[in-house]
Amino acid sequence: MPQPPVAKKVPKVTVIHGDVLQDDYHWLREKDSPDVIAHLEAENAYAEALTKPTTAFRESLYREMLARIKEDDQSVPYPFGGWLYYSRTETGKQYPIYCRKRAADAPEQITLDLNALAEGHAFLSLGAYAVSDDGRWLAYSVDFTGFRDYTLYVKDLATGALAPDRVEKVSSVTWAADSTTMFYVVEDDAKRPFRLWRHRLSAPVADDAFLYEETDALFRLGVWRSRSRAMVFAGAASFTTTEIRWLPAAEPTATWRMILARQHDHEYAVDHGTGPGAGRFYIRTNAGGRRNFRLVAAPVDDPDPARWQELVPHRDDVMLEDVDVFADHYVVHERADGLIRLHVTTLADGRAHYIEFPEPTYEVSADANAEFAMPAYRLRYQSFVTPASVFDYEVGGRQLVLLKQQPVLGGFDPARYRSERIHAIAADGTRVPISLVYREGTPRDGSSPMLLTGYGAYGLPYPVTFSSSRLSLLDRGVTVGIAHVRGGGELGKRWHDEGRMLKKRSTFTDFIAAADALAAERYTAADRLVIEGGSAGGLLIGAVLNLRPDLAHAALMRVPFVDVINTMLDESLPLTVGEFEEWGNPKIREHYEYMKTYCPYTNLGPGRYPEIMVRTSINDSQVMYWEPAKWVAKLRPLNLGDRPVIFKINMAAGHGGSSGRYDALREAAFDYTWILHVLGRDT
């Protein structure tokens, strides 16, 4: 058997709260060091050597997955400003081509070909894509590294030429109504969006007007336009608190006005709708301890809470996740018992109703709804067994009209698959939802292999989406499950609160309870279970492996956040300060002592660990590559078992891995090949 690389030990000692922390692998942070690059390349060589016997199966699996995809495809066009906008893909090309037409049968105009932009680059990510009100100018931003360093460009859609305007480190951008003024936000050295600027088209960037700086490192700044096109908003938000300003889009040099000044633990979101005078603001707010939010309306000229009119009340068991406001109706996204519901209210008569969906577990979200005055609401629906489907919901007739369902080639039949929602009982009696999908006829006698994933952070629900690639697992008898653990947002703010800060450990014990319940109910068994998580979900898996190394047969960790204490001590890193409200600040003794009970890197000790695959990217700005590199280096000599720990590094990408669709599919095939191999299903 090939032997894994052995990282040298160079102790670095940190003393905090009288406690001594020794980090033997701190040196792996030195990204430009030849020793670091040599070590990472040795890890890739080791990964290649161990996975080489599955190369033929991996290529076969890639071809199988690719064969389900319609390579020449087009999105559903959406109207905006007298144009129909869409994107399309062409066989053999990695990236979408963005286009528009005046009408369905009119000639096509290409607004942005990402394939042309990507020439000579191993990575490309599109950030902003904003067309001016007159339809002539496109403001867009791109990153060529994966580090989320986006540069803003302006393209003249009439000539195809780039304007001289160019700004580095832009995180958000929007147009004023005059089509010559832009507002944009730039990042600081820790990648925190913090300064708002105003730019006049074709004027020197050096002459841009500085408007506002967010000085509190807990807050991130953004700028956007209302769907009504009447307002420009600039909002600063931490994980717990919001503050939003506005000005009329037709008056870009007007004084910014405050909607509501920041108050600790008050989060709110604002949109603009029709009404007397300048209209009214729709405010989704959790003021007064109403953690799951309520919806109120307020006059634009005086949005003080004393003038609020309640539209949708707060409910302890229903989370108001979002609101889409239109000229004649508004749509509230509610989450109850883990599932999204769309609640539609017509403004003319105030009547409200829900859009009905048929499956026990599913995902629904807004699609492109760029125009303010539209009789239909465009949504995207999918589930474990239903491919992503774009519908127009005709509000007046209360009818869903299917516009497109994502094609799945090769004879896909949804009737061959089953999905369900069950619950595990945590140690404290909490019911933890689990979403499952499997091929019809899969045995439920403990003999079936399973892939169980989880996340549980930031109040984000884990979406129950369709994947044509996942069919390669299901068709080989693998059940796929999602444990909707605390720390996520499946059951509202309470669910998030019970899995963050000084309650974070419930995220990990919930996942363990879910895995144990699935074995007890004979969906699978520990010796045929693979557990998986990425980013904060990688933290979940790392903590679970320390608590219960016997829980699963194997573990897959993508860009895992495993070095919690060292990262949260370093305020120069992207995200660290802002996330004090998610994980805590280790410079506070109570927070440090709690983090120390679960930090995966800190808690590694001798034990028999399962087979492990770790994947990361060298240009990741969200979870630095060195976190998994250090974790693997520390784990290997502590592992008393004989199963390998493989570490694979993408040397030209960021947090999400490869950016091209074929490259991303090859990465998925790599992961699935490894999963099927460790489960003995790689035939």
Supply the residues annotated as catalytic: 535, 620, 655
Query: How many angstroms separate the CA atoms of 507 and 512, rounded?
Result: 9
**DSSP 8-state class, residue 423:** E
The number of C-alpha atoms within 13 Å of 524 and in the hemisphere containing its C-beta is 27
Q: Give the residue carrying structure tokens 């049968």.
A: 105
Burial 473-488 (b: 16+ CB within 10 A, else e): bbebbbbbbbbbbbbb
- Helix, strand or coil for residue 321? strand
Query: How many angstroms separate the CA atoms of 350 and 329, rounded?
Result: 9
Kindly provide the residue ranges of all beta strands, DSSP E only, lying in 515-665, ordered along the sequence.
529-534, 554-558, 611-617, 645-650
- Beta strands 294-299 and 309-312, pairing class: antiparallel
Q: Give the residue carrying structure tokens 């040298």.
A: 8
Kindly provide the residue ranges of all beta strands, DSSP E only, lying in 277-375, ordered along the sequence.
280-285, 294-299, 309-312, 318-325, 329-336, 339-346, 352-355, 363-366
> How would you list the strands of the sheet with 242-248, edge to edge?
220-225, 231-237, 242-248, 257-260
Give kind and range of the element (H or E) at residue 673.
helix 661-678
Kindly provide the residue ranges of all beta strands, DSSP E only, lying in 2-49, ordered along the sequence.
12-16, 19-23
Q: Are 492 and 319 within 8 A, CB to CB? A: yes
Q: At what angle do helices 661-678 and 55-66 cross, to 10 degrees?
A: 130
- Helix, strand or coil for residue 88? strand
Query: How many angstroms separate the CA atoms of 448 and 450, rounded?
Result: 6
**For residue 527, what are the CA distances in angstroms to 611, 621, 651?**
11, 35, 33
Query: How many angstroms separate the CA atoms of 117 and 464, rounded?
Result: 33
Q: CB-based contacts of 357: which residues, under 8 Å, 6+ apart?
A: 364, 381
**DSSP 8-state class, residue 607:** B
**For residue 635, what are the CA distances in angstroms to 212, 511, 607, 632?**
46, 22, 9, 5
Q: At what angle do helices 34-51 and 661-678 cross, to 10 degrees?
A: 60
Residue 227 identity: R
Q: Phi then psi for 495, rounded to 5 degrees?
A: -65, -40
Residue 474 identity: L
Query: How many angstroms separate the CA atoms of 474 and 671, rounded?
Result: 15
Tell me how far the alpha carbon of residue 282 is from its chain's centroid: 25
Kindly provide the residue ranges of all beta strands, DSSP E only, lying in 383-425, ordered along the sequence.
389-394, 399-405, 417-425
Q: Are 157 and 111 within 8 A, CB to CB? A: yes
Which tokens belong to 448?
A: 């079936």
